[in-house]
Structure 1
């Protein structure tokens, strides 16, 4: 690539360079496609943090320098960096096996809630492929999610190897009780208020916040991104008057709660 930009002003050389670059890129794509069919080879769901990328480049530069200058200390630096990188990856894989993460995503005009337990990820509502790739997929790759799925929040089931119980508008994720209010019908039928940790409110709800206080006892109210700006501002003002703690994903980004595994 650099050779092409260095010779672009030379009439015939730039054509030869461009053709050579095209052939090299074609060969690289061909090799990746062929190698994808090899056992244990994967090109999907690979995620490296910025420190890992920097460390990887340092290892590569150290190995290249060692091949040129033949200095043992450069080889030791590369090996030491490799040990650090592998140790970090092993620890990351270990912690992922016990991770428990509840997330309310910021996808404008949509309600998107996910639960991650170990390597399993579950969306309460299906999300179209474009929004999934833009807002959720990379995040799940960083969390090492390998098994994914989605379902309607109205379904009743025990999911994620027993870590999630879902029944209508109520969910129990490990020891954390939650409720999802999508409309005025998502309210407890009894006379006693339901005690929960978080209450996720969607745009289909049309009542006042005070109505939620009569039905739920909650620590924090979460406004998802399906709520219109007008209604969100109105509810936020009401929360301020009622001294209710709230979180707005449209203004503050995704709400992420990590639980002890």
Structure 2
């Protein structure tokens, strides 16, 4: 459907140029067909796909034919060895070339987030546009333009919606506490940032950010570096010691036993227990009146189980990210 309209845009002057243009046309058509799925599932776009495919497509075909030849000549010792070596060399070069292209600056545009309805609308735009180019019927051009306006309106609505959206997340970050505060498309990350080196966690967190359409990231270790005087304030977010304020929500992070002296109970929306401190919830409740107790990933399973049982006995709402997965609250 898309190959012929793309191919007809240019008439090559010789046979070699025609072969190259045919590969380019196939690449563009294939990329357009897979574009909505690529953006929806992988949230990225390969910027150098045309240059890459000029090498990859013919080389892939050559590898397939060489592989078939290697199987056919498998019983002939010397010839099969030469063919196998050639096949191995071609596969190595293909992988090396793709890796090199991927390592070039600006090779991939990442962080593109679209919803399922938006991906379907994008498909309809491509189909109606292709039908218009093939048949020159103006009604399909009108349909395509109307869908583009609809898609643009959806993007604008999401963009303006970010300004009022606040999300608090406690990640299941495998042995460390990591907390994400998102507002207006910007995010502040607090906690054990070493978790970001974990490939599995990177994929989980990045997908979460794509789904919430976060456009920026500021990272601060917990506790904050000494030059910040262990406190930080930025656009509705404030942190002093183990206490955080975020868009009207109060959060306390407890990583060690609290002093016995009690002046008055501190009301907080979220009380995070981190770092496996030696304490009982009953004693902790003398100091805090939490809306929800959150046990992050830095606590061992046996302690989490004990705290969950104690919380149930005390009638306290308690959530464990290692048991139930990442905690996410939108307000």
TM bin (shorter chain): 0.7 to 0.9
Runs of 4+ in 1 over 4 A off after TM superposition: 1-4, 10-15, 29-34
Match of 1:167 in 2: 240
Q: How many residues align?
A: 243
Q: Is 1:208 aligned to 2:277, yes or no?
A: no
> Shift of the alpha carbon at 1:240?
1.2
Residue in 2 that maps onto 1:119: 185
1:59 aligns with 2:128: no
Q: Which whole-Å CA distance do the structure 2 matches of 1:147 and 1:169 have between them?
A: 24
Q: Which residue of 2 aligns with 1:157?
A: 231
Could you say what the CA RMSD is over the residues aligned between the two structures, in angstroms?
A: 3.5
Q: Residue 47 of structure 1 aligns with which residue?
A: 113
Cα shift readout 1:45-99 (whole Å, capped 9, x = no counterpart): 2122222222212211221122223333322322222111110100111111233
Give the whole-Å Cα distance in 1 for the aligned partners of 2:67 and 2:240: 68
Higher-helix-fraction structure: 2
202 and 32 in structure 1: CA distance in 2 versus 1, 3 angstrom threshold: closer
Question: Larger relative contact order (C-alpha < 8 A, sep ≥ 6)?
Answer: 1
Q: Aligned to 1:81, which of 127, 135, 147?
A: 147
Q: Which moved more, 1:168-177 or 1:142-151?
A: 142-151
Unpaired runs of at least 5, structure 2 = 1-26, 31-56, 70-89, 225-229
In the alignment, does 2:254 pair up with 1:254? no
Structure 1 residue 217: Cα displacement? 0.6
**What's the TM-score once normalised by structure 1's chain length?**
0.78
- Please tell me whether the aligned partners of residues 107 and 135 of structure 1 are also in contact (alpha carbons under 8 angstroms): no
Moved more, 53-62 or 87-96: 53-62
Q: Summarize the Cα distance change of 1:72–1:92 in structure 2 as closer, same or farther, 3 Å threshold.
A: same
Which of 182, 205, 221 is 1:136 aligned to?
205
**TM-score normalised by length of structure 2:** 0.63
